[in-house]
């Protein structure tokens, strides 16, 4: 394996940056090693101690137990709880009743550049509104525990309220990212057999309106399970409505008694809170199931350790709720902690490049959870948009979604955080439910290293291993694995919705004889035990932090009338981390030209998602394949990066590579 690096920058293993005056750690530096060791000696006891801090209607009988499938576990079996109770009722019946839970800013601005719409919603108000949405779902549409629903929404307060309303009823939900096409929406809704879709009339994006209802209607042609559609008015535009099926939420709420409440359903700890579809190496997206009790426990622990969340903080993570980060660290985690959470509808540089920094200043954001792509995009605008604003409220900065290159880390640390905030890179994935490897300023701030993820959190045993599952020496690249179960892992009954076999095969079959969870990431451990995740080791792409499968993009391409075969690989990109490029074989009767190239890119954008659009399309006569017919994407990547091909013994036809090389060199990637 080649030397580990991030976007061409080497990893500063020896650099140690200490923050003098950091006083927030809850465990002293001397005790920290012992604390970690104790948590690893008995992870169940350490997780039970965290879980005890939540509210349970009934205490659990056992901390960790197995189900019928080998690596699907129950955490806190016998325990009963409700996530909307944890996030709302607890706070609304305490002094936090009138504390602001959500600060929402819409995208449009006024003549002076200030926001046209800001809503501040207290815990008391939020509980009332969530009760109303839950009442509508229960009384009007008959949804109850065990049913499934889908959410396709922009970042508005009602999106978060809808998730909490579903949780209140014990209805398992799936959120589909609103940048996905009707086809992507339909396949997820159909897989889950959702009965109801909650959506909005649209949203603002870079000054334009984006309409949702027509996309939803198109998806509904392929989703017979859906009986009703609930619409939230964001834009106030007319929508095509089907009588008896489609309703506006505000009209239904106005029919309710003013004090409409729904008792939170006391669900088992293992009850599926949500299913989130994410890209894998092959086939259709996988529905990852997250339970209630284990998930809430992991979120509670990480909100304290990773973010050091406190009552006087203003917390902001600009992620969309369509991604796991939006579930765990926009909607659920911070609200479980009773925090004040900022949400913003729009784009980071609209109408001006300083929009995010204006928001930090306006609301006094103290904890900021960003991404490497956003950071690199902002670096491009220079320092002035940052310097223009008083960012002194910031005290903790974390990053997520992809490896952060050391120079982007330094920019966050010195410029945004004024060299006085801890800055970290939290490693985790949809499957883990919450952060697994990270700096922990709320527990103990060990020296920071630019670009590193830090150590596994207490109670999580992770390592870097070779092909055979043996631990590799410090400095050597290998695969990141999690060795023991953790709360928040894919939950019962099947880990992956409807497909326990695929779950087992994908995550637990890589190292026979070992119960290691295979993450699919390359990583390296340094001499201090710090982990540096350097990127995916499989056919998964991270484009601007968004997870996509090469297979999904290839499927979109070959659904175009002119394409017969496609191979997609990722190449490094200075801002987005990586971007897809496509090698395409045309059907007979189609000639390669610039128009067709443009058309294929547009096709992917429209039939799948704008984030999946290939940065370049290369037409070739054949793809490099093994003798058994598997596409050798590794060779195409080597061609694009101008690197040696490596082992080509299994390659069927060498001219396929020289052809790809020629096509690449002629056209390049703009």
Which residues of the chain form contacts with ligand 6R9 (CB under 6 A)? 278, 323-325, 400-403, 425-430, 453, 519-521, 533, 536, 542, 547
Nearest approach, Cβ of 181 to ligand 6R9 (angstroms)?
19
**Nearer CB in complex with ligand 6R9: 547/576:** 547
CB of 267 to ligand 6R9, least distance (A): 25
* Contact (CB, 8 A) for 297 and 48: no
Provide the token pair at 92: 């609304």
- In this complex, which beta carbon is closest to ligand 6R9, that of residue 403 or of residue 442? 403
CB 141 within 8 A of CB 166: no
Q: How far apart are CA 398 and CA 412, in angstroms?
A: 9
416's CB contacts (< 8 A; 6+ apart) are 368, 386, 391, 394, 397
Alpha-helical segments (H) within 323-469: 324-326, 333-336, 355-363, 372-379, 384-387, 406-410
CB of 456 to ligand 6R9, least distance (A): 13
Beta strand 367-370 with 396-399 is parallel
Q: Identify which of residues 141 and 323 has a Cβ nearer to ligand 6R9 in the complex.
A: 323
Considering the complex, state which of residue 304 and residue 536 has its C-beta at the smaller distance from ligand 6R9.
536
- Preceding omega of 509 cis (within 30 degrees of 0): no
| Distance of alpha carbon 465 from alpha carbon 445, whole angstroms | 26
Q: How many other C-beta atoms can be found within 10 angstroms of the C-beta atom of residue 592?
A: 16
Listed residue (521, 65, 554, 27) closest to 270, CA to CA: 65
Give CA–CA dist 226/421, Å, rounded: 47
Minimum distance, C-beta of residue 425 to ligand 6R9, in the bound complex (Å): 4
Tell me how far, at minimum, the Cβ of 326 lies from ligand 6R9, in Å. 10
In the complex, minimum distance from the CB of residue 426 to ligand 6R9, in angstroms, rounded to a whole number: 5
Q: Quick one: 48 or 421, whose CB is closer to ligand 6R9?
A: 421
Closer by beta carbon to ligand 6R9, 271 or else 542: 542
List, in order, residues 6 or more apart from 446 with CB less than 8 Å away. Answer: 29, 32, 439, 440, 454, 455
- Give the nearest distance from C-beta 266 to ligand 6R9 in angstroms: 30
Comparison of 270 and 433: residue with beta carbon closer to ligand 6R9: 433
User: How would you write 6-55 as a 3-class SS string?
Assistant: ECCEECCCCCCECCCCCCCCCCCHHHHHHHHHHHHHCHHHHHHHHHCCCC
The token pair at 385 is 């948009």
DSSP 138: I
By beta-carbon proximity to ligand 6R9, the closer residue of 109 and 453 is: 453
Return d(Cα 130, Cα 157) in angstroms, integer. 10
Instruction: Name 359's Cβ contacts closer than 8 Å, sequence gap at least 6.
Output: 105, 316, 342, 344, 365
Pick 294 or 488: Cβ nearer ligand 6R9: 488
Residue 186: helix, strand or coil by DSSP?
helix
CB of residue 8 to ligand 6R9, shortest distance in Å? 16
**Considering beta carbons, is residue 76 or 516 the nearer one to ligand 6R9?**
516
Residues near 588 by Cβ (< 8 Å), separated by ≥ 6?
none
To ligand 6R9, the closest distance from the beta carbon of 388 in angstroms equals: 28
What is the distance of C-alpha 141 from the center of its chain? 30
Least gap, CB of 109 to ligand 6R9 (angstroms): 30
């Amino acid at each position: 394996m080649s030397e580990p690096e991030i976007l061409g920058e080497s990893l500063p293993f020896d650099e140690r940056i200490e923050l003098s005056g950091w006083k927030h750690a809850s465990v002293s530096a001397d005790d920290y090693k012992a604390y970690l060791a104790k948590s690893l000696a008995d992870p169940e006891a350490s997780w039970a101690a965290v879980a005890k801090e939540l509210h349970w209607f009934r205490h659990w009988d056992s901390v960790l137990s197995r189900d019928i499938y080998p690596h699907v576990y129950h955490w806190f079996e016998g325990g009963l709880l409700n996530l909307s109770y944890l996030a709302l009722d607890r706070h609304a019946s305490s002094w936090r009743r009138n504390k602001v839970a959500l600060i929402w800013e819409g995208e449009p601005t006024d003549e002076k550049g200030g926001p046209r719409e800001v809503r501040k919603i207290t815990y008391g108000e939020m509980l009332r509104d969530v009760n109303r949405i839950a009442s509508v779902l229960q009384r009007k549409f008959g949804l109850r525990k065990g049913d499934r629903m889908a959410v396709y929404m922009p970042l508005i307060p009602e999106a978060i309220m809808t998730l909490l309303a579903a949780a209140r009823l014990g209805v398992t939900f799936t959120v589909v990212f609103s940048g996905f096409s009707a086809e992507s929406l339909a396949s997820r809704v159909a897989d889950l057999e959702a009965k109801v879709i909650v959506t909005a009339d649209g949203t603002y994006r870079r000054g334009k309106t984006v309409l949702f209802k027509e996309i939803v209607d198109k998806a509904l042609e392929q989703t017979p399970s859906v009986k009703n559609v609930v619409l939230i008015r964001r834009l106030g535009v007319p929508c095509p409505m089907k009588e008896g099926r489609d309703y506006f939420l505000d009209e239904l709420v106005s029919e309710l008694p003013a004090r409409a409440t729904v008792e939170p359903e006391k669900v088992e700890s293992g009850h599926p809170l949500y299913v989130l579809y994410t890209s894998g190496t092959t086939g259709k997206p996988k529905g990852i199931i997250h339970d209630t009790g284990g998930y809430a426990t992991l979120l509670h622990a990480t909100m304290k350790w990773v973010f050091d969340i406190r009552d006087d903080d203003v917390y902001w993570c600009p992620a969309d709720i369509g991604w796991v980060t939006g579930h765990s660290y926009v909607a659920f985690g911070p609200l479980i902690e009773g925090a004040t959470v900022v949400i913003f509808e729009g784009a980071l540089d609209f109408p001006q490049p300083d929009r995010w920094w204006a928001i930090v200043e306006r609301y006094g954001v103290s904890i900021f959870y960003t991404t490497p792509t956003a950071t690199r995009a902002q670096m491009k605008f220079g320092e002035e948009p940052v310097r223009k604003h008083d960012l002194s409220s910031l005290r903790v900065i974390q990053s997520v979604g992809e490896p952060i290159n050391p120079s982007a880390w330094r920019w966050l640390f010195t410029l945004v955080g004024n060299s006085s905030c801890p800055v970290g890179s939290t490693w985790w994935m949809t499957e883990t439910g919450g952060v697994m490897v990270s700096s922990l300023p709320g527990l103990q701030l060990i020296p920071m290293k630019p670009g590193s993820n830090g150590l596994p959190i207490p109670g999580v045993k992770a390592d870097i291993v070779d092909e055979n599952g043996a631990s590799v020496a410090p400095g050597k690249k290998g695969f990141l694995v999690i060795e023991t179960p953790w709360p928040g892992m894919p939950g019962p009954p099947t880990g992956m919705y409807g497909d326990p076999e695929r779950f087992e095969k994908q995550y637990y079959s890589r190292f026979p004889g070992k119960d290691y969870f295979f993450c699919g990431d390359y990583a390296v451990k340094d001499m201090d035990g710090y982990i540096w995740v350097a990127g995916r080791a499989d056919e998964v792409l991270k484009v601007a932090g968004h997870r996509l499968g090469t297979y999904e993009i290839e499927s979109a391409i070959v659904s175009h009338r002119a394409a017969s075969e496609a191979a997609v690989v990722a190449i490094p990109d200075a801002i987005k981390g990586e971007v897809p490029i496509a090698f395409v074989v045309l059907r007979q009767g189609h000639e390669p030209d610039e128009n067709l190239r443009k058309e294929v890119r547009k096709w992917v954008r429209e039939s799948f998602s704008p984030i999946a659009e290939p940065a370049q399309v290369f037409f070739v006569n054949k793809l490099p394949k093994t003798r058994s017919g598997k596409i050798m994407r590794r060779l195409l990547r080597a061609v694009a990066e101008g690197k040696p091909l490596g082992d080509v013994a299994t390659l069927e036809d060498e001219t396929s590579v020289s052809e790809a090389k020629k096509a690449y060199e002629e056209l390049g990637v703009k």
